[in-house]
Amino acid sequence: MKHTTSTSRRRWFLCTLAVFVSSGLFALTLYARALLTPAIKGAGPVPAGAAAPPQAQPSARAARSRNLALQPAAQNFSRRVGRRFVEPGREASVLVGTLNVGSEQQRVRVERLQDDGGERIEVSLGDGRATLSWDAEHGPLSASRGTEGSERALIERLVMDSPDQFALAQLRGASYYTVARNVRPTDDGGADGYVGSLYDIIRVGEPARGDGKGWASSWRLYYVNTVTGLIEKIVSEDEGGVKVEATLSEWGTHAGETLPSRVTWTRGGGQVFMELNLNNVSHGPKQ
């Protein structure tokens, strides 16, 4: 009798243990399915009429910063000179000053408006309306027509010999190449014990164009001061292949942005043929 009771108890214990183990496995299976269900549902079709989950859209500032980050040298420069390259609401710049070409002096107004291809520029001379313009798609224009001769040379100087172009040229596919680092200026005389400024020289090459909308000089050398990070000289060529140097000086803060107040152009043996002096600068949103 005792043996029968003991056997029954043993069978009851084994059955209970089996049920317990089965229940545990079942619960574990349900838990695993719960973890995997969101991923499985996410792979399936969205029911008709159901709203798609919102997607995070990059802000205008993030997108522009990412574009300018394609070229580290240009990005570093853009950070040093203010907020106009990365902050919404400062895409439009208006520069007013005097332009000396030879012995002639006149008022000049330059509007620079940043866009996806870099910028669009309109130039007004004297007190008249804008007559010269440029953008990456249409090239240099005079009153909506193609430019030539002195007009074309003038707008190339005003458009391209600018620190802003160093930052924005990458948006239209220009190439950047560091020619040299920590070099002395070529006119220092070569004396020992030089303690003046040193420069990084960066070559920016324009994308090849066969439509007549390119510039006389397909490249520019930018001399970047290694201490200040500012551009002090831009070297290019004119239509005759003669070297042209633009010296950017009197850097200062204008409406919260750092810009040169004076740009002086020399040709050949250092003869000054043009100079721009800024009197007023403003920045704001594009209209």
Tens-place pLDDT, residues 114-165: 988 789 999 999 988 778 999 988 888 987 666 678 888 999 999 999 999 9
pLDDT at res. 270: 86
- Domain for residue 10, yes or no? no
pLDDT tens for each residue of 202-230: 999 998 877 777 899 999 999 999 999 99
Token code pair at residue 43: 């792979």
Six-digit token string for 191: 């004396």
126: in domain: yes
- The pLDDT of residue 11 is 56
**pLDDT at position 69:** 76
Helix (H, G, I), strand (E, B) or coil at 72: helix
**Is 140 a domain residue?**
yes
The pTM of this model reads 0.75
For residue 227, give Cα distances in angstroms to 126, 154, 230, 286.
38, 31, 8, 33
Q: Report the percent of the chain where pLDDT is more than 90.
A: 47
Q: Which domain holds residue 213?
A: 60-189+196-284
> For the domain that residue 138 is a member of, what is the CATH number?
2.50.20.10
pLDDT, residue 252, reads: 95
Asked if the structure places residue 32 within a domain, the reply is: no
DSSP class of residue 154 equals H
The pLDDT value given to residue 190: 67
Classify 63 as helix, strand or coil.
helix
Q: What is the pLDDT of residue 241?
A: 92
Domain for residue 133, yes or no?
yes
Residue 39 falls inside a structural domain: no
Which residue type does 19 have? Answer: V
Q: Encoding tokens for residue 4?
A: 């029968």
Residue-level pLDDT at 161: 97
Residue 21, classified by CB atoms within 10 Å of its CB into exposed (0-12), middle (13-18) or buried (19+), is exposed
The neighbouring-strand residues paired with 119 are: 114
168 lies in some domain: yes
Residue 30's identity, in one-letter code, is: L
Pairwise CA distance, residues 276 & 264, whole Å: 6
Nearest to 223 by CA among 118, 77, 81, 92: 77
pLDDT in the model for residue 24: 47
List of residues 6+ apart from 270 with CB closer than 8 A: 245
Decide if 255 is inside a domain: yes
User: What domain count does the chain have?
Assistant: 1
Low-confidence stretches of the chain (pLDDT < 50) are 1-5, 12-32, 34-66
Intra-chain end-to-end CA distance of the chain, in Å: 103
Is residue 246 within 8 A of residue 231, CB to CB? The reply is no
